[in-house]
Amino acid sequence: MSIDTAPSVSQVDVRGPRFAAWITTAVLAAVLVLSTFATTAAGVLLAVQAVVFAIGAARGPRNSPYGTIFATFVAPRLSPTSEREPVAPLKFAQLVGFVFAAVGVLGFALGSPVVGTVATGFALFAAFLNAAFAFCLGCQIYPLVARLRTQSARA
């Protein structure tokens, strides 16, 4: 008989998602700059970011591309973490980022750069909040969505 000593809620070092948010902020800012003169290139770069969001939403922050970069190159150079956060809200935040990025890609692809730019701007705003101020907008919305899911499952 084995005893499970793992915590009941999967958690990650808070510095990993913030690192990922800084990369995301840079990528989304580049999309906005590109969109002023090359909407196709902006759409392609945003599609790459959408894939990163999708992987983060499906596999979690540890197994996302930016999470892998953090774990491989950054985390070994840092002191042990004293702060952790649950994975589920982070996965939800990545899903929200994916939705905005997908809308942006569709906007650029369908000849509506305003839609692409606005959707990218919303995603950039959320990523920057997390990167600069440790305020994860998707994580703040997650408890409300989880509560609604629980209530609808009971009905």
Within-domain flag for 79? yes
CA distance linking residue 123 with residue 99, whole number of Å? 9
Q: Which domain holds residue 115?
A: 13-154
**Considering only CA atoms, which of 24, 43, 27 is closest in space to residue 35?**
43
Instruction: Give tens-digit pLDDT for 102-145.
Output: 999 999 999 999 999 999 999 999 999 999 999 999 999 999 99
State the residue for tokens 């809620």.
Answer: 9
pTM for the predicted model, two decimal places: 0.91
Question: How much of the chain exceeds pLDDT 90, in percent?
Answer: 88
**Within a domain: 37:** yes
> In this structure, which long-range contacts are made by residues 113-119, counting pairs with CB atoms below 8 Å and at least 24 apart in sequence?
113/35, 113/39, 113/42, 116/35, 116/39, 116/42, 116/43, 116/46, 117/32, 117/35
In a domain, 93, yes or no: yes
Is residue 1 in a domain?
no
Number of domains in the chain: 1
pLDDT tens readout for residues 74-97: 999 999 999 999 999 999 999 999
- pLDDT the model gives residue 155: 72
Pairwise CA distance, residues 86 & 60, whole Å: 10
